[in-house]
Structure 1
Amino acid sequence: MSLEKHDLVHEFPEYREKIHQLKTTDHHFARLFAEYHDVDHEVYRLEQGAETASGEYLELRKKVRLQLKDQLFRSLQQA
Structure 2
Amino acid sequence: MLHEYRDIITHMKESGNENAHFLRIFNKHNELDDKIIKAEKNEIILTDLEIETLKKEKLMLKDEAYSILVKYKKEHNL
Highest RCO, 1 vs 2 (Cα 8 Å, sep ≥ 6): 2
TM-score under structure 2 length normalisation: 0.81
Of residues 29, 46, 49 in structure 2, which corresponds to 1:36?
29
Equivalent runs, 1:14-25 vs 2, <5 Å: 14-25=4-15
Q: Provide the identity percentage.
A: 28
Aligned residue for 1:63?
A: 56
TM-score under structure 1 length normalisation: 0.80
Post-superposition, which runs of at least 4 consecutive aligned residues in structure 1 deviate over 6 A? none
Instruction: Please list every run of 5 or more consecutive structure 2 residues that lacks an aligned counterpart in the other structure.
Output: 73-78
Instruction: Please list every run of 5 or more consecutive structure 1 residues that lacks an aligned counterpart in the other structure.
Output: 1-7
Equivalent residue pairs, number: 69
Larger CA Rg, structure 1 vs 2: 2
